[in-house]
Structure 1
Amino acid sequence: MKILHLSAVRNWGGGESHIENLCHELKEKVCNVIFCVRDGMLHQRLKAQDHQVITAPLANKMDPRFILKLAYLCKKQNFDLLHIHDSTALTLAVMADHFASLPPFILSKKTSFPIRPRRQTLFKYNYPKIRKILCVSEATKNISSKTLCRAGRLEVVYHGTRLDNKTQKSPFEIRRKFGLPEAAVIVGNIGNHIEAKHLETFIYTADYLINRKKQKQLYFVQIGNFSRRTEALKKLVQQLALEDHILFTGYIPEASALIPQFDVLLLTSENEGIPQVIYESFYYNVPVVSTNVGGIPEVIENKVNGLLTDPYDHVGLGENLLFLLGNPQVIPNFAKISREKLFQNFTSKIMAGKTLEIYKTALNGRVH
């Protein structure tokens, strides 16, 4: 079976990690070819690996160079399926299908954003070549089904995390690199500076704990790609006089290897599929305090293997952090349950197996 994976994302995030993990797990059973943005972060990362990678420039969401190269590639090679990994890639694939007959589509829906009921948006998501839409959570499936026809195309496949690459050492020691006290309690967060992560709530939670509750031992470390939102976030930190307690590191390769140094993972998202960092925290036995958005309640049960709060509720998040730090005896049980959930349901090997079965179903047993 020959699969062309299509990505139009420049930065590195959970979706790109999914592509890497999926192709790694399926490499013995499937011929995977990855078509992505030239010199983007996915391309840069895959250069050092043994995946087959093809690239094209993408200056804007309708770059004809990308579209025409995709069409040419599908003309020249007999791909059984085109696995599309983001919304922009879907737009490009639909356009390319007008220049060459592309293979059937599999679409991964990795967020729980509602699909806008605009004509062009609905046209591409209901495109007849889409055989299956792989939803990252039940929440994603439920939200998508409200605006899409042929709801039978929707399948839930949790992404999970790889277990065979977790032995790597941390790239550095957080306390030493950033000059934090030895007694610092590190509240970590990994996520790019996008609206869905709502890092304003991350900052307001720190303000509540440090300035109002006088928890000066807490240090908030946020790792992820900067964006046009970053400057406003840094200004908010300054306005609240939190420069000594909140650190934005920017993108760090292999950031998940730093998770064992977190005392707590804090997620303040207003919208999510299911962030990969939750699975990675489960692996490293780091407790999670999070908002209860998207698919997160499907993997974290409040007060059973983590603590959940409504979105934007920085006081509730802060109180949950205080409870966790004041009652460390609950952490081992949270960690035990989380790790069991991970190994039973949320590994990349399980994800790849389910994806392969969907590939086979979509093709009805017919391959080139």
Structure 2
Amino acid sequence: MSGRTRVLWLAKGLGRGGAEQLLVNCARHADTERYEIEVAYVLPWKDALAPSLTKAGVRVHCLGGVPGTPGRADPRWPLRLRRLLAARRYGLVHTHMPLPAAAARLLAFGLGAGGTPRLVHTEHNVWDRYRPVTRWANALTYRRNDAVIAVSHAVERTIPPARRRPGAWVHVVHHGPDLGGAPQGPAARAAARAELGLPQDAFVVGTVGNLTPKKDQATLLAAHAALRRHHPGARLVLIGAGPLDARLRARAAELGLTDGVLFAGSRPDVPALLPALDVFTLSSRQEGLPVALMEAMTSGLPSVVTRVGGMPEVLDDGGQGFLVAPGDPGALADALGRLAADPGLRTRLGAAARQRSGRFDVAGAQQAVEAVYEQVLQR
């Protein structure tokens, strides 16, 4: 199609993470009459979502080596990025992870259709969690962005004033899940529990996230141990993989939870597994705005999550679930215990969560992103 702007979405990896899933969700709703979307990523072993992007009609480029290859990324990936920018002549580069973003800001000058491509960056995390080298790279290059999109107001507030440009430069866009056709109802619940090997009558708490310090599943395990003192049949499902897998399994054994915790690993079928849960939870110490929470609310689950990042922006304490302080297993256990003891409360909060989830419109979010594109391309 003539007249389309070619756009590159640049990410660190395409593994099963929330920010990466947003790329897939948005690709399915992109205006292909106006934009030709391509994706590039750095870490070749984090490629689980690459087939989904290809299926959505998006051309995918691996900069760090052969897709699926374990180990370190090829350190020549910045050179490959520069060659890609020169060859494909993008009108706009939309970055999604801080270090690749800093590289793009430095490498994009003098390239693209008619000159340097416009630069848009999505901020998925609060600045406090960035390592010193990341903060330094951002400090040097951040004002070269033509616009910034923050996934929540909490994230937007952490961008230092010194790194901002004047005017309407930062745009807050609440993204959402893409769960069209996801199973619901008693049959879906029974099937999901059978798939996970869970008793049909157990009280089940579940979480979705990489097994990393940021997600703090250690606090969740401690809370689950406390919950089981009053509800001994309660089960906990951890969906996700990561560097803390072995340590968390060992901690679960120390707490006597071997038969009470299911480590389900990384799963491509999370929407189909959510009906197995009675309650969704996140024990995170840091968040931007987790897709997993919005998926759970869309599925009609009450949630108990920590009061961090953008989570209080989409869940009211006592309205669609409960907010608790991070790093407090007692508070988390108490909130989970309230829901375990009161099926009626779970039903009411779950219904309210599903109603609130009407705000999470992935198509509308992509339209808002494309409005930012239009704004910067017209300058």
For normalisation by structure 1, the TM-score amounts to 0.89
Distance in 2 of aligned mates of 1:34 and 1:141: 24
**Equivalent in the alignment of 1:73:** 84
- 2:204/2:278 contact within 8 Å kept: yes
- CA gap of 1:124–1:300, structure 2 versus 1, over 3 A, is same
- 1:68/1:99 contact within 8 Å kept: no
Q: Deviation of residue 97 (structure 1)?
A: 3.4
Unaligned runs of 5+ residues in structure 2 are: 66-70
Distance in 1 of aligned mates of 2:129 and 2:223: 30
1:35 to 36, 40, 52: 40
1:55 to 62, 65, 74: 62
1:85-100 mapped onto 2 (5 Å cutoff): 85-97=96-108
Distance in 1 of aligned mates of 2:152 and 2:289: 7
**Equivalent in the alignment of 2:68:** none
**Secondary structure of the residue that 1:349 maps to in structure 2?**
helix
Distance in 2 of aligned mates of 1:118 and 1:180: 43
Q: Deviation of residue 95 (structure 1)?
A: 4.8
Distance in 2 of aligned mates of 1:295 and 1:198: 17
**Secondary structure of the residue that 1:265 maps to in structure 2?**
strand
> How many matched pairs?
360
- CA gap of 1:222–1:123, structure 2 versus 1, over 3 A, is closer
**Equivalent in the alignment of 1:233:** 248
1:181 to 199, 203, 206: 199
- 1:117/1:147 contact within 8 Å kept: no
Distance in 1 of aligned mates of 2:51 and 2:283: 29
1:104-253 mapped onto 2 (5 Å cutoff): 104-114=118-128, 121-125=135-139, 126-145=141-160, 148-150=163-165, 152=167, 153-167=169-183, 173-210=191-228, 213-227=229-243, 229-253=244-268
- CA gap of 1:10–1:20, structure 2 versus 1, over 3 A, is closer
Q: Deviation of residue 137 (structure 1)?
A: 0.5
Q: Deviation of residue 239 (structure 1)?
A: 0.9
**Secondary structure of the residue that 2:163 maps to in structure 1?**
coil
1:322 to 337, 353, 358: 337
- 1:43/1:55 contact within 8 Å kept: no
**Equivalent in the alignment of 1:18:** 22
Distance in 1 of aligned mates of 2:189 and 2:75: 37
Distance in 2 of aligned mates of 1:202 and 1:43: 31
> For each residue in 1:211-252, what CA deviation from the matched residue of structure 2 results, as whole angstroms up to 9, or x when unmatched?
xx241120000001232x211111111111111001111101
**Secondary structure of the residue that 2:29 maps to in structure 1?**
helix
**Secondary structure of the residue that 1:308 maps to in structure 2?**
strand
Q: Deviation of residue 349 (structure 1)?
A: 0.9
For normalisation by structure 2, the TM-score amounts to 0.86
One-letter identity of the residue aligned with 2:117? P
Q: Which one is further off, 29-38 or 121-130?
A: 121-130
**Secondary structure of the residue that 1:6 maps to in structure 2?**
strand
- CA gap of 1:18–1:10, structure 2 versus 1, over 3 A, is closer
One-letter identity of the residue aligned with 1:318? A
**Secondary structure of the residue that 1:127 maps to in structure 2?**
helix
- 1:115/1:147 contact within 8 Å kept: no
Q: Which one is further off, 249-258 or 25-34?
A: 25-34
Distance in 1 of aligned mates of 2:155 and 2:213: 18
One-letter identity of the residue aligned with 1:224? G
**Secondary structure of the residue that 1:26 maps to in structure 2?**
coil
- CA gap of 1:326–1:175, structure 2 versus 1, over 3 A, is same
One-letter identity of the residue aligned with 1:55? C
- 1:122/1:148 contact within 8 Å kept: no
- 2:321/2:349 contact within 8 Å kept: yes
Distance in 1 of aligned mates of 2:378 and 2:129: 28
Taking only aligned residues, the RMSD between alpha carbons, in angstroms, comes to 2.6
**Secondary structure of the residue that 2:25 maps to in structure 1?**
helix
- 1:111/1:140 contact within 8 Å kept: yes
Q: Deviation of residue 171 (structure 1)?
A: 11
Distance in 2 of aligned mates of 1:151 and 1:325: 50
One-letter identity of the residue aligned with 1:25? H
One-letter identity of the residue aligned with 2:261? I
The percentage of aligned residue pairs carrying the same residue is 24
**Secondary structure of the residue that 1:41 maps to in structure 2?**
coil
